[in-house]
A and B are shown apart, each in its own frame.
Chain A
Amino acid sequence: MRHEGSIIQICLALALVLNILFWLSVRDVKSRWSNVPPPPNIKYASIYGLGDASFAYRLNGIMMQNLGDTGGRVTPLKDYNYETLGRWFYLQDSLDPVSNFTPYLAAYYFSNVQKPEMLPPLLDYLSDIGNRPYGEKWRWLAQGVFLARYQLKDLDRALEMANALANTKNDNVPVWVHQMPAFVLSARGEKEAAYAILLEILKSRGEKLHPNEVNATKAYICTRILGKEDAAVNPLCESL
């Protein structure tokens, strides 16, 4: 009996030593992040929420928000695979097309990537979401215009999105939504086209606009589009 007890004690000590050795060997080993994982097929995506699409959307949402930044690890956005990330955005859209969580992540978090040339998949997504007629989805197009113009510096893409924004089906949008193509055209140097758009807005909607909006539009025309000589002879600029 005593002999058995001694054997157990020795074995226990040995097991403890083995545990310590194992701990020493794996202490600094950490799971490696293998970049953005491929998204599941859209057709089966709700299986991840056991058939509940909204639950799957929220689980994926938290995962995407913390992607690459778990376990004390921080990954710069430029190291993410934005093509795969773009497919996750569309997967999320298929699970919940109404929520603004994923568009928000795309427009305000993932858009801060250090290499703006990685933005096109994200802009494609914002462009598609922004064209939805319900809610205030047009705001994602506006954010897309900003990203294309100031981050990506692709004025063609910005103009394409600005035109889509101006044609939004929502009646309750501010006037700058319709003026957006003019702003981008002005940045492209197409001053005459920008002038024509803004003038048309003043003619067709001027009476419905708040005086401040009218004055702001006139000021933009007279200071940003027209040169000093042209502004001096333009009757629109007289009242400024």
Chain B
Amino acid sequence: MSAALLEVDRLDKRFGGVHAVAELSLSVHEGEIVGLIGPNGSGKTTTFHLITGFHRPDGGRVRFAGRDVTGAPPYEVCARGLCRTFQVARPFRELSVLDNVVAATLLRHPAHAAARARAEALVRTVGLEARAGTPAGALTTIDQRRLEVARALGTEPRLILLDETMGGLTPTEVTEAMRLITALRERGLTLLVVEHVMRAIMTLSDRIVVMDQGRWIAEGTPTEIAAHPAVVKAYLGREYRHA
């Protein structure tokens, strides 16, 4: 088996007395969709921050595409092909939807016309073409999440980290979002996905990593995870019924 695209090795982060991420290791291979789940406060978002350079880890290493990117600033991590979305969408509020995406596509297409053409295509991909000229701050929460995904795709990543893009969506919208994620994978993208919507994560993921209190507690295929005693105890409880 080839080396993993993303390799997280014993990543560690403390905030004061809180051990937010404790010796966490995981890997993501090219073409995979890996789910990262765990109860609220288990360190999933912090893990994303550590991988993408928004926080500097206290210990451990992050390797991406064969290079050590531990502690590299976010823009550098992104330029290497690893892009993330935010749990609470962070659009450039006063810029139009299209200009939001142009800010991202300029990374690979420095010429304005090319960046714009690319951005227009992505705005269509996420179904926001009717709102391309609207200031992003005026979008609904759902549309802001769509924009968040379009913007991340604009940087043409090899691996994309999606942080709870489905929270608060209606079942129909979840189905739609799942279709988009499947389409992304078919385009050759690799995904690491934090998600609370179990129907989605269980259907989409090739592999699931479970965290609890900053630690790795289990890993396996969706079927294995659904039956794993430690996972059921820590997290799933009776909430999850197989769809």
Q: Answer yes or no: are A and B bound together in one complex.
A: no
Chain A positions within 8 Å of B, measured between CB atoms, are: none
Chain B positions within 8 Å of A, measured between CB atoms, are: none
